[in-house]
Each structure stands twice: as structure tokens, then as C-alpha cells.
Chains A and B, each alone.
Chain A
Amino acid sequence: NAGVTQTPKFQVLKTGQSMTLQCAQDMNHNSMYWYRQDPGMGLRLIYYSASEGTTDKGEVPNGYNVSRLNKREFSLRLESAAPSQTSVYFCASNKNYGYTFGSGTRLTVV
């Protein structure tokens, strides 16, 4: 089925470790997004990519980097994980305002 696929679904990291969260969409959308969800804070935008080859910072970009590898894929990298990055991460793509979200990556940094 068409949609947004995120991997991995779960991850535990030690402080200082690095990892990349992968995201791919097969709906031919131009725009893709990375959000984090924390209790009581809703969904906050980390980075977004309005089109292939472009990326921009969102509301909470510190500690993260992104790569828009091609139109389908948008990855999020944590270079040196911190406990404050413990969260659920969602990737999304959209055409106009109708976002399609992936099922999320639950990341714990210990």
C-alpha cells in the first residue's frame, strides 16, 4: 500500500552514539518532514524538505541533521545522541496540507 515507511520502529542508544532514522514515501510527494512527539508538547517540526535537494530547519533542529537523498527518501541523523532526544519521531510527506505520516520510531537514549 502507498504510504510512508519509517525504520527502525524502536531503538535504544547510549549517550554519544549516532544513528540515522530512515524514511521513504511512494506517493511522489515533493515535501517531506521530520517531527518529534513528546508528552504535553504535541508534534514539533525538526527539519523539512520542500523538494528534492532542499532542506530547512524547523522549530527544534539542534542536535539533528537531515539528508534528502532523492524524491522518495528523507533521513534524520543524530550525530551524538543525548537523553533529551528520547522521543517518538515521525516522518511525513504531503501534497498540499494533507500529510501522510509514518508509524513512528520510538527512540530511547540512556
Chain B
Amino acid sequence: DQQVKQNSPSLSVQEGRISILNCDYTNSMFDYFLWYKKYPAEGPTFLISISSIKDKNEDGRFTVFLNKSAKHLSLHIVPSQPGDSAVYFCAAAKETSGSRLTFGEGTQLTVNP
């Protein structure tokens, strides 16, 4: 039972344009959401997070939007840069399970110069 799903295995965008990565979840108990970025041969690194009490969180070029009614979140990268090319993982947590994270399958983002 995949509780966190990223339905797009890959996404390709042009440099300078917006990248939108999507994530859906099924467990309504999740109350904290995160995005991680992973380069080849490296471990994932934390990118941005959002609590369920908010619907938007922004950090520089990265913005995460949360739609609780639709159980959907998205990561916007504006403007996209070639260095953003990586695999992006969506993750979710529920306070009752401590800080254990449930990850999605990942989306490979390629930003073309």
C-alpha cells in the first residue's frame, strides 16, 4: 500500500522555466510533509517542508503548496536551473509515529540549458 505517490517518474523543463513536481498521499493522519533532493551517488538532502496547518511555504526559488482536501502537495521551482537536475522525493510524517518518514517513489527532474 503506497501511502505517498509521485505519479510522474520523470519531468523535463527548460532552464528559466517553472518546474512543478506533484505528490499525492492517502493517509489523512499525515501532518507534516517534506521534499528531498538526491543527486547520483549521494544521499538525499532536505529541501523544504510544510506543516498541515499551512497551505504554502516558500524558500528562495522553492515553494511547496499543500491542498489537504485533495491530499495533494506540489513543489514549484522558479526559475529552474541545470543544477536542479536531480531526483526529488516527497515524504510525509504523522506526529503519532514520531519522526518516521514515508517516501514517495521519486521524480527525476532534468533541466535543459
Contact = CB atoms under 8 A, between A and B. Distances in A.
Interface in B94-108: 98-106
A1 interface: no
Contacts of A41: 105
Interface of A: 4, 31, 33, 35, 40-45, 48, 50, 58, 90, 92, 94, 96-104
Contacts of A94: 99
A101 B46 CA distance: 9
Given A43-B103, A102-B43, 18 more contacts: A4-B43, A31-B98, A31-B99, A42-B4, A42-B89, A42-B104, A43-B44, A45-B101, A90-B43, A94-B99, A96-B99, A97-B34, A97-B93, A97-B101, A101-B44, A103-B41, A104-B41, A104-B42
26 contacts: A31-B98, A31-B99, A33-B100, A35-B103, A41-B105, A42-B6, A42-B89, A42-B105, A43-B89, A44-B103, A45-B101, A48-B100, A50-B98, A92-B43, A97-B32, A97-B34, A97-B101, A98-B46, A99-B36, A99-B46, A99-B101, A101-B43, A101-B45, A102-B43, A103-B43, A104-B43
Contacts, number: 54
Contacts of A104: 41-43
